[in-house]
Amino acid sequence: MKIRNLTLGVLAVGTALAGGTAVAEAATAKPAVNIVVRPYAPTFRDYTCQAPQLPSYIVPSEGGVIYSPAPGTYFPGFVTVTVTASPGPHITLIGATSWTHTFVNPGPCVVPNKTRAPFVSAIPKRLPPLSR
């Protein structure tokens, strides 16, 4: 008995008879099963004066999930962004599939004026005369 793939979802089973004639029976494959996936949320990083960094967000990469924008790291500036997740073939998504975040400009960062104590040198301004 030989089995070969004729088309997607259909298998042909052939049996060789005497004299080289073949008989084929077609059988349809079982319908595809959907896989249930909870998509990963993107990571948003705001700009803060305490930890100066560019505002950014990271879109994850996950098999079977199509993210928009594509997976990667982005530096958008001070805007509102939306990341969406869509199912790929044979995937069912559960949970959140859209995330929106607004990057807010915190304004000018005020650096506190730290008063320093006056510098005191350990070396005297004038050396005493050498005694003989």
Rg for the chain, CA atoms, rounded = 35
d(CA 52, CA 108): 12
**120 pLDDT above the threshold of 50:** yes
Residue 39: how many CA atoms within 13 Å on its side-chain side? 27
pLDDT per residue as tens digits for the range 18-41: 454 444 444 455 557 889 999 999
Predicted confidence at residue 73, as pLDDT, reads 93
The residue count for the chain: 132
pLDDT per residue as tens digits for the range 101-110: 999 887 787 7
pLDDT per residue as tens digits for the range 65-85: 999 999 999 999 889 999 999
Predicted confidence at residue 106, as pLDDT, reads 78
Give pTM, 2 decimals: 0.58
**5 pLDDT above the threshold of 70:** no
First-residue to last-residue Cα distance in the chain = 118
Average pLDDT score over the chain:
75
d(CA 14, CA 26): 9
